[in-house]
Structure 1
Amino acid sequence: MIEEVTDIAQTNLWSHHIFEDQFPNDVFTIEPNYNTVYGICFSPPNCEVVCLTFLSNGKLSPFWEIEQPKIPKNDLNEDYLSVKTQFAGPEIHKQLMVFFDYINKKYLENFDLNDEGNYWESKNEQLLEDTFTKYSNFIEGFDSLLENIPIGENESIEDYLLRIAEMNRKKNDENESDNGD
Protein backbone atom coordinates (compact mmCIF):
# COMPACT_ATOMS: atom_id res chain seq x y z
CA MET A 1 0.00 0.00 0.00
CA ILE A 2 2.80 2.42 0.91
CA GLU A 3 4.38 2.00 -2.53
CA GLU A 4 1.11 2.73 -4.31
CA VAL A 5 0.31 5.74 -2.11
CA THR A 6 3.85 7.03 -2.68
CA ASP A 7 3.33 6.74 -6.45
CA ILE A 8 0.00 8.58 -6.20
CA ALA A 9 1.54 11.35 -4.07
CA GLN A 10 4.53 11.73 -6.40
CA THR A 11 2.32 11.74 -9.51
CA ASN A 12 0.24 14.56 -8.00
CA LEU A 13 3.35 16.38 -6.68
CA TRP A 14 2.08 16.03 -3.11
CA SER A 15 4.69 15.93 -0.37
CA HIS A 16 4.63 12.74 1.63
CA HIS A 17 6.31 11.04 4.57
CA ILE A 18 6.79 7.33 5.12
CA PHE A 19 6.94 5.99 8.67
CA GLU A 20 7.86 2.36 9.32
CA ASP A 21 6.87 0.36 6.30
CA GLN A 22 6.78 -3.17 7.64
CA PHE A 23 5.03 -4.68 10.66
CA PRO A 24 7.18 -6.84 12.97
CA ASN A 25 7.47 -10.31 11.43
CA ASP A 26 4.98 -9.14 8.75
CA VAL A 27 2.01 -9.73 11.08
CA PHE A 28 -0.20 -7.63 13.33
CA THR A 29 0.39 -7.83 17.06
CA ILE A 30 -2.40 -8.61 19.49
CA GLU A 31 -1.49 -5.72 21.78
CA PRO A 32 -0.56 -2.47 19.99
CA ASN A 33 2.95 -1.09 20.25
CA TYR A 34 2.44 2.63 20.89
CA ASN A 35 6.07 3.49 20.22
CA THR A 36 6.07 2.84 16.48
CA VAL A 37 4.02 4.31 13.65
CA TYR A 38 3.49 2.36 10.43
CA GLY A 39 2.27 3.83 7.17
CA ILE A 40 2.37 7.01 5.14
CA CYS A 41 1.03 10.57 5.16
CA PHE A 42 0.69 12.95 2.23
CA SER A 43 -0.37 16.55 1.74
CA PRO A 44 -2.65 17.63 -1.10
CA PRO A 45 -2.64 21.41 -1.64
CA ASN A 46 -4.66 23.48 0.87
CA CYS A 47 -5.79 20.30 2.59
CA GLU A 48 -5.13 18.71 5.95
CA VAL A 49 -2.55 15.96 5.92
CA VAL A 50 -3.96 12.60 4.85
CA CYS A 51 -2.58 9.89 7.12
CA LEU A 52 -2.77 6.20 6.49
CA THR A 53 -0.93 5.41 9.69
CA PHE A 54 -1.42 2.33 11.79
CA LEU A 55 -0.59 0.81 15.14
CA SER A 56 1.20 -2.55 15.20
CA ASN A 57 -2.19 -4.27 15.68
CA GLY A 58 -3.31 -2.94 12.28
CA LYS A 59 -5.68 -0.29 13.66
CA LEU A 60 -5.78 2.96 11.74
CA SER A 61 -4.74 5.83 14.01
CA PRO A 62 -3.46 9.36 13.35
CA PHE A 63 0.30 9.48 13.84
CA TRP A 64 0.12 12.59 16.02
CA GLU A 65 -1.85 10.65 18.59
CA ILE A 66 0.49 7.68 18.47
CA GLU A 67 3.56 9.89 18.84
CA GLN A 68 2.03 12.12 21.54
CA PRO A 69 3.47 10.87 24.84
CA LYS A 70 1.00 12.87 26.97
CA ILE A 71 -2.09 11.07 25.63
CA PRO A 72 -2.97 8.09 27.82
CA LYS A 73 -2.75 5.14 25.46
CA ASN A 74 -6.20 3.88 26.40
CA ASP A 75 -7.59 7.26 25.20
CA LEU A 76 -6.20 6.90 21.67
CA ASN A 77 -8.72 7.09 18.86
CA GLU A 78 -7.99 3.87 17.07
CA ASP A 79 -9.51 3.10 13.71
CA TYR A 80 -10.33 6.55 12.43
CA LEU A 81 -9.10 9.04 9.88
CA SER A 82 -10.11 12.67 9.53
CA VAL A 83 -9.26 15.04 6.68
CA LYS A 84 -10.55 18.58 6.17
CA THR A 85 -10.78 19.45 2.47
CA GLN A 86 -12.83 22.67 2.67
CA PHE A 87 -9.97 24.92 1.59
CA ALA A 88 -8.64 22.43 -0.97
CA GLY A 89 -11.81 22.69 -3.04
CA PRO A 90 -14.17 20.19 -4.63
CA GLU A 91 -11.68 18.83 -7.18
CA ILE A 92 -9.17 17.73 -4.52
CA HIS A 93 -12.06 16.44 -2.40
CA LYS A 94 -13.32 14.35 -5.30
CA GLN A 95 -9.79 13.11 -6.02
CA LEU A 96 -9.45 11.99 -2.40
CA MET A 97 -12.81 10.19 -2.49
CA VAL A 98 -11.63 8.23 -5.56
CA PHE A 99 -8.35 7.54 -3.74
CA PHE A 100 -10.12 6.28 -0.59
CA ASP A 101 -12.45 4.13 -2.67
CA TYR A 102 -9.44 2.47 -4.31
CA ILE A 103 -7.49 2.05 -1.05
CA ASN A 104 -10.57 0.75 0.73
CA LYS A 105 -11.27 -1.93 -1.86
CA LYS A 106 -7.67 -3.05 -2.10
CA TYR A 107 -6.20 -2.72 1.40
CA LEU A 108 -8.69 -1.96 4.18
CA GLU A 109 -11.28 -3.97 6.07
CA ASN A 110 -14.39 -2.52 7.68
CA PHE A 111 -13.61 0.96 6.37
CA ASP A 112 -16.49 3.40 6.67
CA LEU A 113 -16.22 6.95 5.37
CA ASN A 114 -18.41 9.85 6.48
CA ASP A 115 -18.21 12.48 3.75
CA GLU A 116 -19.66 15.87 4.64
CA GLY A 117 -19.39 16.75 0.95
CA ASN A 118 -21.78 13.85 0.17
CA TYR A 119 -19.68 12.75 -2.80
CA TRP A 120 -18.59 9.39 -1.32
CA GLU A 121 -22.16 8.13 -1.23
CA SER A 122 -23.68 9.93 -4.21
CA LYS A 123 -20.86 10.48 -6.76
CA ASN A 124 -22.91 13.59 -7.55
CA GLU A 125 -20.54 16.38 -8.62
CA GLN A 126 -23.22 19.08 -8.48
CA LEU A 127 -24.12 18.13 -4.92
CA LEU A 128 -20.41 18.31 -4.00
CA GLU A 129 -20.09 21.77 -5.61
CA ASP A 130 -23.25 22.99 -3.86
CA THR A 131 -22.01 21.70 -0.50
CA PHE A 132 -18.65 23.43 -0.92
CA THR A 133 -20.40 26.66 -1.93
CA LYS A 134 -22.69 26.47 1.11
CA TYR A 135 -19.81 25.98 3.55
CA SER A 136 -17.66 28.64 1.82
CA ASN A 137 -20.51 31.15 2.04
CA PHE A 138 -20.99 30.32 5.71
CA ILE A 139 -17.27 30.81 6.45
CA GLU A 140 -17.14 34.08 4.47
CA GLY A 141 -20.28 35.34 6.19
CA PHE A 142 -18.91 34.52 9.62
CA ASP A 143 -15.59 36.16 8.74
CA SER A 144 -17.43 39.28 7.59
CA LEU A 145 -19.47 39.27 10.77
CA LEU A 146 -16.31 39.15 12.89
CA GLU A 147 -14.84 42.05 10.90
CA ASN A 148 -17.96 44.23 11.18
CA ILE A 149 -18.81 43.51 14.80
CA PRO A 150 -15.57 43.56 16.77
CA ILE A 151 -15.24 41.96 20.17
CA GLY A 152 -15.44 44.37 23.08
CA GLU A 153 -12.27 45.24 24.97
CA ASN A 154 -13.17 43.26 28.10
CA GLU A 155 -15.73 40.96 26.49
CA SER A 156 -15.27 37.20 26.78
CA ILE A 157 -15.61 35.06 23.65
CA GLU A 158 -18.77 33.52 25.10
CA ASP A 159 -20.34 36.95 25.76
CA TYR A 160 -19.27 38.14 22.30
CA LEU A 161 -20.93 35.17 20.58
CA LEU A 162 -24.07 35.59 22.72
CA ARG A 163 -24.21 39.28 21.75
CA ILE A 164 -23.94 38.39 18.06
CA ALA A 165 -26.64 35.72 18.43
CA GLU A 166 -28.94 38.22 20.15
CA MET A 167 -28.33 40.80 17.39
CA ASN A 168 -29.15 38.14 14.81
CA ARG A 169 -32.34 37.12 16.66
CA LYS A 170 -33.51 40.76 16.80
CA LYS A 171 -32.78 41.21 13.10
CA ASN A 172 -34.77 38.07 12.26
CA ASP A 173 -37.67 39.27 14.44
CA GLU A 174 -37.67 42.64 12.62
CA ASN A 175 -37.63 40.92 9.23
CA GLU A 176 -40.57 38.73 10.23
CA SER A 177 -42.49 41.84 11.42
CA ASP A 178 -41.77 43.65 8.16
CA ASN A 179 -43.04 40.64 6.19
CA GLY A 180 -46.29 40.51 8.17
CA ASP A 181 -45.45 37.22 9.86
Structure 2
Amino acid sequence: MNKMNSGKLKQADLLTDLTEEIVDVAEAHHWKFHVFNSAFPDNTFSKETVYDKLYGINFTPQNCETISIVFLSNGKMVCPARIHFFASSENSEEQSYIYSNSVKTQYAGIQTHQVIILFFRYLSNKYFDDFELSDESGYWETNDEEKMKKQFQIYNRLTDDFALAFETLPAKEGEDIFTYLERLMKNVNDLQ
Protein backbone atom coordinates (compact mmCIF):
# COMPACT_ATOMS: atom_id res chain seq x y z
CA MET A 1 0.00 0.00 0.00
CA ASN A 2 1.27 3.45 -0.76
CA LYS A 3 1.12 6.12 1.85
CA MET A 4 1.52 9.82 1.34
CA ASN A 5 2.24 11.97 4.31
CA SER A 6 3.03 15.58 5.04
CA GLY A 7 3.01 17.89 8.02
CA LYS A 8 5.24 19.77 10.40
CA LEU A 9 6.72 19.32 13.85
CA LYS A 10 4.63 20.94 16.62
CA GLN A 11 7.65 22.44 18.41
CA ALA A 12 11.35 22.46 17.66
CA ASP A 13 12.26 21.11 21.10
CA LEU A 14 10.28 17.90 20.43
CA LEU A 15 12.71 16.64 17.79
CA THR A 16 15.08 14.90 20.21
CA ASP A 17 12.25 12.97 21.89
CA LEU A 18 10.69 12.10 18.53
CA THR A 19 13.98 10.79 17.19
CA GLU A 20 14.65 8.76 20.34
CA GLU A 21 11.19 7.15 20.22
CA ILE A 22 11.62 6.19 16.57
CA VAL A 23 15.08 4.74 17.27
CA ASP A 24 13.58 2.67 20.12
CA VAL A 25 10.85 1.27 17.86
CA ALA A 26 13.27 0.65 14.98
CA GLU A 27 15.66 -1.23 17.25
CA ALA A 28 12.82 -3.28 18.79
CA HIS A 29 11.70 -4.35 15.30
CA HIS A 30 15.25 -4.74 13.92
CA TRP A 31 14.63 -2.03 11.31
CA LYS A 32 17.55 -0.16 9.81
CA PHE A 33 17.57 3.55 10.51
CA HIS A 34 19.58 6.69 9.88
CA VAL A 35 19.50 9.71 12.16
CA PHE A 36 20.13 13.09 10.58
CA ASN A 37 20.41 15.93 13.09
CA SER A 38 18.38 15.15 16.21
CA ALA A 39 18.07 18.72 17.52
CA PHE A 40 17.46 22.09 15.92
CA PRO A 41 19.96 24.87 16.71
CA ASP A 42 18.87 26.53 19.96
CA ASN A 43 15.74 24.30 19.85
CA THR A 44 14.04 26.75 17.51
CA PHE A 45 12.83 26.66 13.92
CA SER A 46 14.47 28.86 11.33
CA LYS A 47 12.34 31.42 9.52
CA GLU A 48 14.23 30.70 6.31
CA THR A 49 13.82 27.57 4.21
CA VAL A 50 17.24 25.95 4.05
CA TYR A 51 17.69 22.70 2.13
CA ASP A 52 21.25 21.73 2.99
CA LYS A 53 20.69 20.54 6.58
CA LEU A 54 18.10 17.92 7.51
CA TYR A 55 16.67 16.98 10.91
CA GLY A 56 14.99 13.76 11.97
CA ILE A 57 15.28 10.14 10.97
CA ASN A 58 14.74 7.58 8.20
CA PHE A 59 13.85 4.00 9.02
CA THR A 60 13.32 0.94 6.86
CA PRO A 61 11.10 -1.94 7.96
CA GLN A 62 11.95 -5.27 6.34
CA ASN A 63 10.59 -5.63 2.79
CA CYS A 64 9.45 -2.00 2.85
CA GLU A 65 10.62 1.23 1.32
CA THR A 66 12.37 3.70 3.59
CA ILE A 67 10.10 5.89 5.70
CA SER A 68 11.29 9.46 6.26
CA ILE A 69 10.37 11.53 9.27
CA VAL A 70 12.67 14.31 8.24
CA PHE A 71 12.30 18.07 8.56
CA LEU A 72 13.84 21.23 7.20
CA SER A 73 15.11 23.87 9.59
CA ASN A 74 11.64 25.50 9.45
CA GLY A 75 10.06 22.36 10.97
CA LYS A 76 8.25 21.22 7.82
CA MET A 77 8.33 17.50 6.99
CA VAL A 78 10.13 16.71 3.73
CA CYS A 79 11.28 13.87 1.52
CA PRO A 80 15.10 13.93 1.37
CA ALA A 81 15.24 12.39 -2.12
CA ARG A 82 12.79 14.94 -3.51
CA ILE A 83 14.90 17.79 -2.13
CA HIS A 84 17.70 16.57 -4.37
CA PHE A 85 15.44 16.70 -7.43
CA PHE A 86 13.20 19.70 -6.79
CA ALA A 87 14.82 22.16 -4.34
CA SER A 88 16.37 24.25 -7.09
CA SER A 89 13.28 24.17 -9.31
CA GLU A 90 11.62 27.47 -10.07
CA ASN A 91 8.31 25.67 -10.66
CA SER A 92 6.18 26.00 -7.50
CA GLU A 93 4.32 22.75 -8.18
CA GLU A 94 7.59 20.85 -8.43
CA GLN A 95 8.83 22.53 -5.25
CA SER A 96 5.69 21.34 -3.44
CA TYR A 97 6.75 17.73 -4.09
CA ILE A 98 9.47 18.22 -1.48
CA TYR A 99 6.82 18.34 1.25
CA SER A 100 5.28 14.92 0.66
CA ASN A 101 6.50 11.39 1.16
CA SER A 102 5.35 8.22 -0.50
CA VAL A 103 6.07 4.73 0.81
CA LYS A 104 5.15 1.31 -0.51
CA THR A 105 4.46 -1.08 2.37
CA GLN A 106 2.67 -3.84 0.45
CA TYR A 107 5.59 -6.26 0.40
CA ALA A 108 6.23 -5.79 4.11
CA GLY A 109 2.89 -7.48 4.77
CA ILE A 110 -0.29 -6.69 6.63
CA GLN A 111 1.17 -6.88 10.14
CA THR A 112 4.03 -4.49 9.40
CA HIS A 113 1.70 -2.14 7.55
CA GLN A 114 -0.60 -2.10 10.56
CA VAL A 115 2.30 -1.43 12.95
CA ILE A 116 3.47 1.46 10.76
CA ILE A 117 -0.02 3.01 10.61
CA LEU A 118 -0.52 2.67 14.37
CA PHE A 119 2.93 4.16 14.95
CA PHE A 120 2.13 7.12 12.70
CA ARG A 121 -1.18 7.61 14.52
CA TYR A 122 0.71 7.81 17.81
CA LEU A 123 3.44 10.09 16.42
CA SER A 124 0.98 12.42 14.71
CA ASN A 125 -0.98 12.97 17.92
CA LYS A 126 2.12 13.64 19.99
CA TYR A 127 4.50 15.41 17.63
CA PHE A 128 2.93 16.72 14.41
CA ASP A 129 0.71 19.58 13.26
CA ASP A 130 -1.14 19.65 9.95
CA PHE A 131 -0.26 16.00 9.45
CA GLU A 132 -1.94 14.21 6.57
CA LEU A 133 -1.64 10.58 5.60
CA SER A 134 -3.42 8.76 2.80
CA ASP A 135 -3.45 4.97 3.04
CA GLU A 136 -4.61 2.91 0.05
CA SER A 137 -5.64 0.10 2.39
CA GLY A 138 -7.99 2.48 4.20
CA TYR A 139 -6.65 1.47 7.60
CA TRP A 140 -5.40 4.95 8.51
CA GLU A 141 -8.76 6.48 7.71
CA THR A 142 -11.08 3.77 9.09
CA ASN A 143 -9.10 1.61 11.53
CA ASP A 144 -10.96 -1.28 9.85
CA GLU A 145 -8.70 -4.35 9.84
CA GLU A 146 -10.98 -6.36 7.52
CA LYS A 147 -11.01 -3.60 4.91
CA MET A 148 -7.21 -3.43 5.12
CA LYS A 149 -6.87 -7.20 4.68
CA LYS A 150 -9.20 -7.21 1.67
CA GLN A 151 -7.25 -4.42 0.01
CA PHE A 152 -3.98 -6.31 0.56
CA GLN A 153 -5.55 -9.42 -1.00
CA ILE A 154 -6.62 -7.41 -4.06
CA TYR A 155 -3.14 -5.94 -4.58
CA ASN A 156 -1.41 -9.27 -3.97
CA ARG A 157 -3.68 -11.03 -6.45
CA LEU A 158 -3.12 -8.29 -9.03
CA THR A 159 0.66 -8.53 -8.58
CA ASP A 160 0.55 -12.32 -8.85
CA ASP A 161 -1.65 -12.17 -11.96
CA PHE A 162 0.69 -9.67 -13.63
CA ALA A 163 3.74 -11.80 -12.79
CA LEU A 164 2.00 -14.89 -14.21
CA ALA A 165 1.05 -13.03 -17.39
CA PHE A 166 4.61 -11.77 -17.77
CA GLU A 167 6.00 -15.29 -17.36
CA THR A 168 3.53 -17.03 -19.67
CA LEU A 169 2.96 -14.44 -22.41
CA PRO A 170 6.22 -13.54 -24.12
CA ALA A 171 6.45 -10.52 -26.39
CA LYS A 172 5.51 -11.23 -29.99
CA GLU A 173 8.05 -10.71 -32.72
CA GLY A 174 8.09 -7.02 -33.69
CA GLU A 175 5.82 -6.02 -30.77
CA ASP A 176 6.91 -2.77 -29.11
CA ILE A 177 7.06 -2.54 -25.30
CA PHE A 178 3.89 -0.43 -24.97
CA THR A 179 1.80 -2.82 -27.06
CA TYR A 180 3.21 -5.75 -25.11
CA LEU A 181 2.38 -4.16 -21.74
CA GLU A 182 -1.14 -3.29 -22.94
CA ARG A 183 -1.64 -6.93 -23.93
CA LEU A 184 -0.34 -8.09 -20.53
CA MET A 185 -2.66 -5.71 -18.68
CA LYS A 186 -5.65 -6.83 -20.78
CA ASN A 187 -4.81 -10.40 -19.86
CA VAL A 188 -4.58 -9.50 -16.17
CA ASN A 189 -7.89 -7.63 -16.33
CA ASP A 190 -9.51 -10.65 -18.00
CA LEU A 191 -8.40 -12.77 -15.02
CA GLN A 192 -10.19 -10.48 -12.56
Q: Which TM-score band applies after superposition, normalised by the shorter structure?
A: 0.7 to 0.9
Residue 46 of structure 2 corresponds to which residue in structure 1? Answer: 29
Q: Which runs of 5+ in 1 are unaligned?
A: 173-181
The separation in 2 between residues aligned to 1:24 and 1:153, in whole angstroms, is 62
Q: Cα distance, 1:164 vs. partner?
A: 4.0
> Does residue 1:40 correspond to 2:57, yes or no?
yes
Assess if the C-alpha contact under 8 Å between 2:65 and 2:104 holds in 1: yes
Q: Which runs of 5+ in 2 are unaligned?
A: 1-17
> Does residue 1:152 correspond to 2:172, yes or no?
yes
Give per-residue Cα distances to partners, 1:31-74, cap 9 Å, x unaligned: 211111111011111111111011111111111223x2675255
Residue 109 of structure 2 corresponds to which residue in structure 1? Answer: 89
> Does residue 1:130 correspond to 2:145, yes or no?
no
Percent identity at matched positions?
35
Assess if the C-alpha contact under 8 Å between 2:37 and 2:55 holds in 1: yes
TM-score (norm 2): 0.80
> Does residue 1:72 correspond to 2:88, yes or no?
yes
> Does residue 1:99 correspond to 2:115, yes or no?
no
Residue 140 of structure 2 corresponds to which residue in structure 1? Answer: 120
Q: Cα distance, 1:82 vs. partner?
A: 1.6
Greater fraction strand: 2
Q: Cα distance, 1:152 vs. partner?
A: 3.3
Assess if the C-alpha contact under 8 Å between 2:86 and 2:98 holds in 1: no
Query: Alpha carbons of 1:69 and 1:123: their partners in 2 closer, same or farther (altered >3 Å)?
Result: closer
Q: Cα distance, 1:122 vs. partner?
A: 1.6
Assess if the C-alpha contact under 8 Å between 2:165 and 2:188 holds in 1: no
SS state at 1:83 partner:
strand
Q: Which structure would you say has the larger RCO, counting Cα contacts within 8 Å and 6 or more residues apart? A: 2
Note the aligned Cα RMSD (angstroms): 2.2
The separation in 2 between residues aligned to 1:168 and 1:101, in whole angstroms, is 35
SS state at 2:148 partner:
helix
Query: Alpha carbons of 1:82 and 1:25: their partners in 2 closer, same or farther (altered >3 Å)?
Result: same
How many correspondences in the alignment?
170
The partner residue of 1:17 within 1, 25, 34 is 34
Q: Which has the larger radius of gyration?
A: 1
Q: Cα distance, 1:18 vs. partner?
A: 0.1
Give per-residue Cα distances to partners, 1:87-146, cap 9 Å, x unaligned: 011100100011000110011001111010111122111111111011000000011111
Q: Cα distance, 1:166 vs. partner?
A: 6.2
